Structure 1
């Protein structure tokens, strides 16, 4: 049989080649393959390979009610955290025989609503979402339809769904304990605006409570990090202020750490003498002399936990999976406070 480049092999052609019925071929490419004899399976496999047949997964899902797709919505696909967690999600999906469909929203709530509607048309069997806005109503509708849903990193109080992410309270406690033990007593907390991002809100609240409980001095700078001049002035004023305590910057995420490094280099500050610590471990943190102390998020484990949570919901299982993950403290020279 000679096939043109435009021709798509049909299931009927495979059946003729394999000397089998169309029903048998359909069973071969479904969960009913075991109902066929070994000889029949071998003939169908050989025919499909010879003809270059690829089953239409979407058509099968419409007929059988299962798409084999897991949807994932990320607020910013350029964020290293999103990429790392996505890898864990994809690996876990593959191990369960599922495919991952990823949509990026660019931190735009309007795009988020559009992508949610798009994923619904593909009949995804579950959804992992790193919310950009507050799509509470849309997501609650998914929940009420019985579609498993896991909130990743950012919580939404009005959505009855599972949450998987970093234990932010533990992260701030670990950071403050380390800085205090290293001899830093005057701290400046740097963050992007906390609205619409629950992790930033939790980290800021825990920072304010933590410095008060430990008798530390704490200030906060929460502004868009692209406003470099404002950030540099805030850090410069913080370092120039009189006082006997050693000073350190605590950065709420990788973007804040990068912005702080640029400002400190412009100001001529020496790392260690001025402490610097960031939440999120990024590849370049160990390359900046003398190395930046970080709290690394277990991104692979977080991604896998999100899928484990979905699978438990899909199977109505009572199996528990870790929801809030502890960070790992990686100590480098940026928090080596000079001796008095």
Structure 2
């Protein structure tokens, strides 16, 4: 069995003190000069040294772990934000522990218990249910929490996510400018996520205010293919008063709608299509799908920054903050009609 190198060996190899190496692998890395950090990193890599974070936690009362709970790890939004969270954790000397709940509140409770057992120092949660009692228990123990994308009706904490009202307003303004006047908004179940509720409510409010014709469809998470196919077919065959467009509430819906429109041989552009969330394939499907891109990396990093600010503050019960970021419109051919420039 290969012997594990020690922190003392790294210190000797780098020509620095043991304290400097401890700072490099702990929360005080910023106190070291860039040159010193480079020497320690090179020595650790050369010797194959990895700190025992669990032992460090037992010794110092800190685990150096950040927990992240996501409602659906298959959702491209979750993956993209997770990357930002992980990058921010690594830069600050923390490790990330991710749990996927598969939109199951029972799994959510089990994972929260697991993360508590591992003594995570902070938690980023994209809630699937209403785990307010478990989160309140964590908060009472002094664990800082950040809600990602979704708020809870009976529990307040820092929240980081998209400015949903601005995103819907931007989508409607773009579709109206391109001449679309009959709109179908399609979402996954709004009851399971406050962000979906916000987008749905804003759509209904704004289509009325703008004098547009708007209708909505809320799909189940599983098994809604036939319902979606029938709804889009009915929407397309109705005699139009104005050009029609479909607005998708997230990336999963955009993918499902694109498949249906292709199967029904609808020409994108003549039938407008706009999706919230920028996905890699959206630029590849001719003539390109117009999207509203969320700054997912920034959202992930901001969530970690919020956690660490709470960790560094003696009073963790100060009023919760809500940080909203704006979407970026990426126009493509799916919202460009043949009879317009």
Cα distance per residue 1:43-97 (max 9 Å; x no partner)? xx9x999997654321221121111111111111121111111111111111111
Cα distance per residue 1:215-252 (max 9 Å; x no partner)? 00001111226321211111111111113211000000
Partner residue of 1:103?
99
Residues 254-265 of structure 1 mapped to structure 2, 5 A cutoff = 254-265=251-262
Contact 1:128 1:152 in 2 (8 A): yes
1:115 aligns with 2:105: no
Partner residue of 1:130?
126
1:273 aligns with 2:270: yes
Partner residue of 2:214?
218
Q: How many residues align?
A: 317
Partner residue of 1:296?
293
Contact 1:272 1:334 in 2 (8 A): yes
CA distance in 1, matches of 2:239, 2:260: 20
Structure 2: segments with no counterpart, 5+ residues: 29-40
Find 1:65's aligned residue among 54, 57, 61.
61
Question: Partner of 2:227: helix, strand, or coil?
Answer: helix
Contact 1:187 1:249 in 2 (8 A): yes
CA distance in 1, matches of 2:89, 2:24: 22
CA distance in 1, matches of 2:48, 2:168: 56
CA RMSD of aligned residues (A): 3.0
Please report how far the alpha carbon of residue 164 of structure 1 lies from its aligned counterpart in structure 2 after TM superposition: 0.2
Residues 319-338 of structure 1 mapped to structure 2, 5 A cutoff = 323-338=323-338
1:240 aligns with 2:215: no
Question: Partner of 2:195: helix, strand, or coil?
Answer: helix
Partner residue of 1:78?
74
> Which is greater in Rg?
1
TM-score normalised to the size of structure 2? 0.85
Contact 1:308 1:321 in 2 (8 A): no
Partner residue of 2:162?
166
Please report how far the alpha carbon of residue 157 of structure 1 lies from its aligned counterpart in structure 2 after TM superposition: 2.3
Change (3 A) 1:90 1:55: closer
CA distance in 2, matches of 1:337, 1:262: 20
CA distance in 1, matches of 2:168, 2:193: 16
